[in-house]
Structure 1
């Protein structure tokens, strides 16, 4: 089944726009594409809308926003899925893997983070602020770059997580659920305002999803389709209820939470099921979304520059306008750079 999917990938090699060095899995690139579009949608979500939901349109907005909470879990599960069978036995194999994988995400982080660092120096031209912002640059503290710090922790943990059985998956799920409960308590009940890197960056919050991806690849014949459907529907209903509760009591709560983790676990089980992989059919739209998935790390690194710029230039809180504008200019930038800069240079220094 996987071989059939890989053969279909050859049909959508778009010259320089799609990597020809190795055959890719279109289905999972498609999922990456959907996930990164969800990420951009999250970051263009109108902040003014989260204070009140009094109309049907507001309710639809809230429900849509809850579905988007699965974006980061989906990325982590896909990463775990494709790293699950890495041969990491000897010390040399492990260190070579760490060196290669960490450099692949950390160097582009520094390149794109440098722009935010320079902007911070213009805004706060003091030595103390400069040192703080330098630390943010090096650790993924700018904008939404916490994910780089998170995925590096996943890479480091991979040799250990590969050894886990089903009990290890359950243990990781429990850890993540306890972590999100504690995070919700500190943010909503206690009113703490943590930096994104501090509360969303540690691996213990997200380890369930990376581990789930590993498990589903190692046990590729396991079929959790029915469980996935049940948890997805149940999790979505729980999210809607929990969001309304948090909004009415604390004035916020559309983002990640206990119920969103239940929803995300179900969605991963559903989307990773052999049945859905088999019924996926390639198409022009599918190939285009798959290309977005192939450059998803680049979209992640670049898009906040345009989101921030459009928020000031357009002066609108129209979610659809902001989302499409930010996504399209980001993709256009990446496409142009891929046409004029050697692929090896782009991949190493720019992330796509």
Structure 2
């Protein structure tokens, strides 16, 4: 039986993709004491929860799936992996032809595994599809705690290597390994299994405290190597986990649905969030960054251009072709 579609999860996707675009549009000075720069730094720390939201949401829905046998599981794995992998390859191809290559075969393979731009997220999500049976059994109380510890150790080591030692890792090699994000799908599984009705005040307190720590930690780390703004901080991890419990709560869903206009706009954005993810960096890198220097301005213009292109393409070409390139 097909489950009823809940538009609140489109809202979460819409929120997360706006966070992603803001993250990539960030242009402020994190060390400045100016009001605008401080506000942008605060928002920059808030939006670190974008990828965790996407991962937890995928896991939330996977927690509801009960595969009757291995054949059904592998069929699901294949269809869902190809559904996101094919559009990634299509949108990576222009970058492949633009770049200079020392080794064409190596570069082509790197493209196929999601090595270009921000496409590390595709192999990352496929890894979590593969790990579905493990999460199904493991994402319980102590299992979540163990995964948090593993995640925290990995993040601490990564933070030390990158922020203190100045070792430069490509986005793919730093962020594609599942261990960098291993706790967030566990949260999605946990909420999917145990329900969305729980007390929110402890999570609000933890989110506030960890966000303050994240801002302070970012300002402390940035002078070393110009790093420390992203999710690879323990404080950002704790903030993201707290935010997941807040956002996935049924109580918050009820309150947010009351602000109809804003809510519905973000829901509509969420429905095309995958397409925005695939194309927004093209607009940002090749056009917007060269003419707009303010973070909010870049975010708004990039979002508008991405949404307009997706809507235009969906109205122009056949639905199946639009879906193949990631415009659903």
TM-score normalized by the length of structure 2: 0.93
Superposition RMSD in Å? 1.8
For residue 53 of structure 1, give the secondary structure of its aligned residue in structure 2: coil
Q: 1:211 aligns with which of 158, 162, 186?
A: 186
- CA positional deviation for 1:321: 1.8
Which residue is 1:272 aligned to? Answer: 248
Q: Deviations over 1:230-255 (max 9, x none)?
A: 22111101101101111234433211
* Structure 2 residues without counterparts, runs of 5 or longer: none
> Are the equivalent residues in 1 in contact too, given 2:196–2:248 (CA < 8 A)?
no
Which residue is 1:101 aligned to? Answer: 80
For residue 49 of structure 1, give the secondary structure of its aligned residue in structure 2: coil
Structure 1 residues 145 and 169, CA gap change in structure 2 (3 angstroms): same
For residue 92 of structure 2, give the secondary structure of its aligned residue in structure 1: helix
> Are the equivalent residues in 2 in contact too, given 1:66–1:254 (CA < 8 A)?
yes
Q: Deviations over 1:169-203 (max 9, x none)?
A: 11111111111101101101221000101111111
- CA positional deviation for 1:104: 1.0
* Alignment partners' CA distance in 2, 1:198 and 1:332: 32
- CA positional deviation for 1:132: 3.0
> Are the equivalent residues in 1 in contact too, given 2:289–2:298 (CA < 8 A)?
no
Q: 1:290 aligns with which of 264, 267, 270?
A: 267
* Alignment partners' CA distance in 2, 1:22 and 1:218: 16
Q: Is structure 2 residue 34 aligned with structure 1 residue 60?
A: no
Which residue is 2:9 aligned to? Answer: 28
TM-score normalized by the length of structure 1: 0.87
* Alignment partners' CA distance in 2, 1:291 and 1:337: 16
Q: 1:258 aligns with which of 230, 234, 246?
A: 234
Shifted more, 78-87 versus 129-138: the winner is: 129-138
* Alignment partners' CA distance in 2, 1:221 and 1:66: 25
* Alignment partners' CA distance in 1, 2:32 and 2:300: 23
- CA positional deviation for 1:221: 4.9
- CA positional deviation for 1:49: 2.2
Structure 1 residues 262 and 273, CA gap change in structure 2 (3 angstroms): same
> Are the equivalent residues in 1 in contact too, given 2:114–2:172 (CA < 8 A)?
yes
